[in-house]
Copies of this chain bind each other. A is one copy, B any other.
Amino acid sequence: MAATFPSASALFLREPEIRRGVELLYFGYSHLTRAIDAGLAEKGLGRAHHRALYFIARQPDLTVGQLLGLLAITKQSLGRVLTDLGKHGLVEARTGPNDRRQRLLRLTPAGAELEAALFEALRERLSAAYAKAGQEAVGGFWAVLEGLVPAAELPRIEALRR
């Protein structure tokens, strides 16, 4: 949260600055996600598989429902992805200890290895961008992106940071 009070005519709120943000977000996001496509294709997986893999790595033993909430897709779409990941031996599920209806998801060693390899590609790109922009810029980067996420959603994201 910055301490500045934006004036009514703040220059950084005008159309060119907004368009610049839209474009950089589009291109930046595109290039970052493309960084792992090759690694995924090797295993016959797609981006949907990676998103699931990523969040399971991030929060082991999360339930199918929690993952659905993060990905914001339908149960059916996720089901297909989880089935694939299971068949590839990358993800395994066990029954919830408290609520036996739940299935707790976890990466297998092979899954963890693949996720780490894919993350390495993301890390390379993003840390290069971080280093080039500097620490302060990184704080700004986070702050703006946080502002794009509806307040109701933020807790779920913050929870990923343990």
Contact = CB atoms under 8 A, between A and B. Distances in A.
Contacts of A161: 16, 20
Chain B CB count within 10 A is highest, among A4, A20, A27, A148, for: A148
Interface in A1-48: 1-4, 6, 10-13, 15-32
A137 interface: yes
B2 A145 contact: no
A37 B133 CA distance: 32
Given A24-B145, A25-B32, A153-B27, A133 B140 contact: yes
Contacts of A146: 24, 28, 129, 133
Q: Decide if the interface of chain A is mainly helix, strand, loop or mixed.
A: helix
B131 A138 contact: no
Count of identical protomers in the assembly: 2
Given A27-B153, A122-B22, A137 B144 contact: yes
Q: Chain A: interface residue count, which band?
A: 35 or more
Interface of A: 1-4, 6, 10-13, 15-32, 51, 54, 58, 72, 119, 122-123, 125-150, 153, 157, 160-161
Given A18-B122, A27-B157, A137-B140, 12 more contacts: A2-B133, A2-B135, A2-B136, A4-B134, A13-B127, A22-B32, A24-B142, A25-B32, A28-B145, A132-B143, A137-B144, A141-B143
16 contacts: A4-B136, A6-B131, A11-B135, A18-B122, A19-B119, A24-B146, A26-B51, A28-B145, A30-B72, A125-B148, A133-B140, A133-B143, A134-B143, A136-B140, A137-B144, A141-B145
